[in-house]
Amino acid sequence: MKSPVPPNSPSTPDYDLETWRKRIPIIASGGLIPMNNCSQAPQTDVTRAAAERYLDSWNRDGMDWDEWISEVGLAKREFATLINAAPEDIAVFSSVSEATSAVASALNFNGPRNRVVVSEAEFPTVGHIWLAQESRGASIVWARVTEGEIEPVAYLEGIDERTAIVSACHGYYLNGYVQDIEAIAARAHSHGALLFADAYQTLGAIPVDVQALGVDFLASGNLKFLMGIPGIAFLYVKREVAQRLHPTVTGWFGRADPLAFEVKQLDWSATASRFDSGTPPVMNAYVARAGMEILNGIGVTKIRAWHEVLAQQLIDGGRERGLTLHGTNDATRKTVSTAFAVDDSHGIENKMRARGIIASARGAVIRLAPHFYSTLEDCDRALDSLAEAVRSA
Ligand SMILES: Cc1ncc(COP(=O)(O)O)c(C=O)c1O
């Protein structure tokens, strides 16, 4: 079934989509349609070449730590560019879980400010990490999700003079709903609390400016809309905040001079790298930089404009096919990731894959998450396959 393009929407993006499709082997070979960017982006020629660059260096030189560590610095720089921060404000981890744990480890929950306000829209790992702080004196207060959406008002009751930090994802992993982080950060700050944002589901899909959002921390991995791979994540820490925190999840890369080799001296890097810990994920940094260069090169604002067209196509096309949308039907309040309620989401994901569509099952929904390279036809084919899988279930 072919859905009409929404009125006043461009029918093509403001960049060369066809060339990009040729650079994504899984599409170019005519094999599969990747609609799973909320879970894992497809490989491109440049991300593959980046991985090979590391393998070649390792093979050729045996070891080149100067080059490898400088590549990690370049990946931090690329991430900083994406979020309008300075490279010195970025720390590197192997997962968002690790980054969140490092942030939690820097906070003291023994005094009167022991509250952590956590949204129910957090990816479970983030909720788990805050719950684990209860044994350190933290008291968790939940901000409620209602019908797949969460408004700043959900935080009002929780945030007060007892609040140490507010943990709010930018995009809801289940259905792409985008929270008003700026309003939530302002509320947190007006009560002297910090704001931690998990932007894993929005970076590369929505323009993010940490200065404008006013966040204290912002974390993301690289394998979703950032076109990278598992095993690397980045954390932005606002300069003044970093300078007064001492994470107990730490290591030699968090020192003022990691090469000082002073085993009895715990000094702190003057920048966000005090949140770094051990040897960074070097090979992943090569791939991560290459992936983020794609996004920075095209421009996330242009990508977002096309995403809104794709999201509208998925919302309207889902309705026409009798599918049940999860969350808002307003494409401007969500990422391109669009979720439909289904029984047996994993069974449906498998059926769709057998028909050439890679979708992403999560709990009771199937998520369709196209990206900058996707066409309206991809969306229609994915919806047809989903509707067929639901009918035959
Ligand atoms: C919003 C969000 N946060 C965190 C995670 C998990 O991150 P990690 O496995 O890097 O800890 C995911 C994974 O899907 C996610 O979607």
Q: How far is the CA of 96 from the centre of ligand 1 (A)?
A: 6
The whole-number pLDDT of residue 376 equals: 97
* Strand residue runs (E) in the chain: 33-34, 90-93, 115-119, 139-143, 163-169, 194-198, 217-221, 233-237, 324-326, 338-341, 357-358, 360-362, 365-368
Backbone angles phi, psi at 179, to 5 degrees: -80, 155
The set of residues, in sequence order, having a beta carbon less than 8 Å from that of 322 and lying 6+ positions away, is 387
- Measured from CB, residues less than 6 Å from any atom of ligand 1 are 95-97, 123, 125, 169, 173, 198, 200-201, 221, 233
Residues of the chain above pLDDT 90, percent:
96
Please give the Cα distance from 174 to 307 (Å, whole number): 17
**Residue 198 C-alpha to ligand 1 middle, in angstroms?**
8
pLDDT of amino acid 36: 98
Task: Please give the pLDDT value at position 7.
Answer: 52
Where the chain has pLDDT below 50, the residues are 3-5
Instruction: State the distance from the centre of ligand 1 to the C-alpha of 347, rounded, in angstroms.
Output: 22
pLDDT for residue 393 = 81
pLDDT at residue 11, rounded to an integer? 82
> What pLDDT, on a 0 to 100 scale, did the predictor assign at position 8?
59
Distance CA 56, CA 58 (A): 5
Sorted by where each begins, the domain ranges of the chain are 17-43+299-391, 64-296
pLDDT at 3: 47
Q: What pLDDT does 95 receive?
A: 98
Closest CA to ligand 1's atom 3: 123
3-state class of 185 per DSSP? helix
In this structure, which topology does domain 17-43+299-391 adopt according to CATH? Aspartate Aminotransferase, domain 1 (3.90.1150)
Instruction: Return d(Cα 378, Cα 363) in angstroms, integer.
Output: 24
Q: Which of 39, 40, 96, 169 to mutate to test the pocket of ligand 1 (most atoms within 8 A of CB)?
A: 96
Question: What's the pLDDT tens digit per position in 31-60?
Answer: 899 999 999 999 999 999 999 999 999 999
Contact 305, 372 (CB under 8 A): no
Nearest atom, ligand 1, residue 200 CA: 1
Instruction: Give the CATH number of domain 64-296; options: 3.40.640.10, 3.50.50.60, 3.40.50.1820, 3.30.1330.10.
Output: 3.40.640.10
pLDDT computed for residue 4 by the predictor: 47
Provide the 8-state DSSP code for 372: T
C-beta neighbour count of 97 within 10 angstroms = 18
Find the Cα–Cα–Cα–Cα dihedral 218, 222, 225, 226, rounded to 10°: 100
